[in-house]
Structure 1
Amino acid sequence: MIGKYELEITTRRVDYKLTLERNITILRGNSATGKSTLYRAVKQYEDDGRASGIRITCDKPCVVLEGKNWENDLREINQSIVFVDEGAKFINTEEFASAIKNSDNYYVLITRQDLCNLPYSIHEIYELNTDKIGNRMFCKQQRIYKSDNISENVMVSNIITEDSKTGYEFYNEYAISHNMICEHADGKTNVSKRIINKSNSDVTLIVVDGAAYGSEMNNTMILINSIPGYILFTPESFEWLLLNSNILNKPYILDILKEPYNYIESSEFFSWENYFTELLNKATRESEVVPYSKGNNKSIRMFTTEKNMKKIIESSDLRYLLKT
């Protein structure tokens, strides 16, 4: 499935409005915030249709996935928006992650768990914001992690990258030329382990791939908010950062980056991070330079020249943090 979808669900007492742009959307929040009521409304409409008194407006069918036969049921669901409630025992299993990896559905997962088996975006983790007008409740999604904790008045002294491959090579090249220290965490599950109490006032920049860091975001933000001296930078991915700089001078790339959801097919790309990697590989091949590959450090040499590194930094929020 591909595209951006507006979803409206109207019950006798509550109106819900959701916007879905990616294959995985997470809804979380405390009890009694409307999450389970939303799920039950979709289920009731699926069971009883208009006789339920519920109205669902969306360009795609909305269905629920539950029970012990969920795997067989899912094989019969295509081009749909699939809701899974936190009571489903399979929601945090490897089997579920494997089953939806090449699916052509979008998924709304109602859960307070950090689903480590799924590569979901930090930008697609929401809670429901509810307003009451008269006797009706109006619920809209509200992004939990609104932006990076970037300050224009802070310059970092050290860098930690999630990535141990080309992303690390890029930031390490910058660090060497600016008398800084750059280290890598060797994977997203290790990033939070690097956030420790420090005896000095140095500021450390942590760089992660926001497109797939959702399961780690809660723990990371708890630590960053409680331990001073860390700033989190969350571009979609390192490849997105390179594409966004437009160094390759491909106008179609900037068009794609404005509305990625219109180009990324969910059955082909489990995470937008995967898509941006492929897009960068395609663009570098077209430019007749070393094709980009995460495992090939030679493929980023053109991006680590002084001129291009400056352009990459100044085209993103890194301009507030790193000197050029």
Structure 2
Amino acid sequence: MRGKHRVIVSTKRLKYDFELRRNLTIIRGDSATGKTTLVDMIQEYVNNPTGSPVDLTCDKKCYVLEGALWKGQLAEITDSIVFIDEGNDFIKTEEFAREIQKTDNYYVIVTRESLPTLPYSVEEIYGIRTSGKYGTLKQSYHEFYRIYGTLTREKDIKPELVITEDSNSGYQFFDCVCRENHLRCETMNGKSNVFHYLRDHKNEKILVIADGAAFGSEIDRVLRLIEGYENVVLYLPESFEWLILSAGILKNNHVLEILDAPYDYVESEAFFSWERFFTAVLIDETKDTYLAYMKKRLNPAYLQDVIKETILEKIEKISLTWKK
């Protein structure tokens, strides 16, 4: 499945109206915010579509996955939107991550806990709030709102230390830039290590660079840790490959079309996260050229002054050319 899909679920009293654009969407929030009610309404419609007081409108079929038999249920679901309420512990398992990676569905997961086995985006973590939009009809209208918005400060950032979540081409690029400008750069060798490093280095001016497309499971605890810190800033592009594509180096109209609406191009069965998709696009669009991209080892062409500066200019409000 790919594309954006609007879901409208309603009764005479309640209405949910939201749009999904990735294979993984997380709904968070405290009790009594309407999360479980949403899933219950969808389940009621699925169980009795003609006799239920619930109306459901969507261009894809919707299902609720639950209980000990989830794996068997999942095997029967294709090209659909699957809702999972909190309390289903299987969502935390490696087995669940493996199984849904093989499917062409979109998944909406209600959970107050982080799910480190799943590569979900910081941009696809939502809460539910009630609007008075339908107050005159005595209908409570529930809308999704993005929990994590812009994560960098308004003022320009000049770090002393840059940390990246992995050791691949992204780290190699920023490590080179930092060495040229007498800054330190360290790799965390995994997104879960970012939290532990920040906890132990509270007094340094740190820029964290991580793939926003898959950093969703870490964002809450990292933000809680650095709350009030003036010396730690997060920069979360979709991925390093997205950053290169967005910098306009390739002069490619097809790439621009993809960047404008990635959801229309990302097949959920082929790409478990948008980070993987942008990597595939960059490799494909640069093959057999001097910019041929490799994930594990950075092509030195990306360190040429003009190309390097073009990539860095894409990173707004952050300067890595400051020297002590």
- Same fold (TM > 0.5): yes
Q: Look up the match of 2:181.
A: 178
Counterpart contact for 1:172–1:183, Cα < 8 Å: yes
**What is the distance in 2 between the residues matched to 1:220 and 1:42?**
33
Q: Look up the match of 1:276.
A: 278
Q: Look up the match of 1:48.
A: 48
Q: Look up the match of 1:36.
A: 36
**What is the distance in 1 between the residues matched to 2:157 and 2:191?**
25
Superimposed CA distance per residue, residues 77-108 of structure 1 (whole angstroms, 9 cap, x where no aligned partner): 01110000012121111111111002110000
Answering whether residue 257 of structure 2 is matched by residue 259 of structure 1, we say no
Q: Look up the match of 1:156.
A: 159
- Give ranges in structure 1 of 5+ residues lacking alignment: none
Q: Which moved more, 1:124-133 or 1:220-229?
A: 220-229
Counterpart contact for 1:150–1:320, Cα < 8 Å: no
Q: Quote how far apart the aligned CAs of 1:224 are.
A: 1.6
Report matched runs for 1:13-92 at 5 Å. 13-92=13-92
Superimposed CA distance per residue, residues 253-305 of structure 1 (whole angstroms, 9 cap, x where no aligned partner): 1110110000000000000100111111111115x1253121123x2x11112
Q: Quote how far apart the aligned CAs of 1:152 are.
A: 2.9
AA at the equivalent of 2:214 = A
Q: Which moved more, 1:22-31 or 1:246-255?
A: 246-255
> What's the C-alpha RMSD, in Å, of the aligned pairs?
1.6
Counterpart contact for 1:26–1:124, Cα < 8 Å: yes
**What is the distance in 2 between the residues matched to 1:154 and 1:116?**
29
**What is the distance in 1 between the residues matched to 2:200 and 2:222?**
14
Superimposed CA distance per residue, residues 188-225 of structure 1 (whole angstroms, 9 cap, x where no aligned partner): 0101111136575x521000000011111111111121
**What is the distance in 2 between the residues matched to 1:208 and 1:2?**
25
Counterpart contact for 1:211–1:273, Cα < 8 Å: yes
Counterpart contact for 2:211–2:275, Cα < 8 Å: yes
Superimposed CA distance per residue, residues 142-183 of structure 1 (whole angstroms, 9 cap, x where no aligned partner): 001011223333322221111212111111111011111111
Give the % identical residues: 40
**What is the distance in 2 between the residues matched to 1:310 and 1:157?**
19
**What is the distance in 2 between the residues matched to 1:226 and 1:285?**
45
- Give ranges in structure 2 of 5+ residues lacking alignment: none
Report matched runs for 1:185-200 at 5 Å. 185-196=188-199
**What is the distance in 1 between the residues matched to 2:202 and 2:265?**
47
Q: Quote how far apart the aligned CAs of 1:237 are.
A: 0.4
Q: Quote how far apart the aligned CAs of 1:33 are.
A: 0.2
Counterpart contact for 1:152–1:321, Cα < 8 Å: no
1:282 counterpart SS class: helix
Q: Look up the match of 2:290.
A: 289
Q: Look up the match of 1:167.
A: 170
Answering whether residue 245 of structure 2 is matched by residue 243 of structure 1, we say yes
Pair 1:73–1:198, CA change in 2 (3 A):
closer
**What is the distance in 1 between the residues matched to 2:201 and 2:75?**
51
**What is the distance in 2 between the residues matched to 1:156 and 1:144?**
26
2:143 counterpart SS class: strand
2:120 counterpart SS class: coil
**What is the distance in 2 between the residues matched to 1:150 and 1:314?**
17
Q: Which moved more, 1:150-159 or 1:28-37?
A: 150-159
Number of residue pairs matched by the alignment? 319
Q: Quote how far apart the aligned CAs of 1:323 are.
A: 3.6
Q: Look up the match of 2:96.
A: 96
Counterpart contact for 1:11–1:54, Cα < 8 Å: yes
Pair 1:52–1:199, CA change in 2 (3 A):
closer
Counterpart contact for 1:196–1:227, Cα < 8 Å: no
1:230 to 229, 232, 235: 232
**What is the distance in 2 between the residues matched to 1:174 and 1:257?**
25
Q: Look up the match of 1:316.
A: 315
1:90 counterpart SS class: helix
1:108 counterpart SS class: strand
1:310 counterpart SS class: helix
2:127 counterpart SS class: strand
Q: Look up the match of 1:303.
A: 302
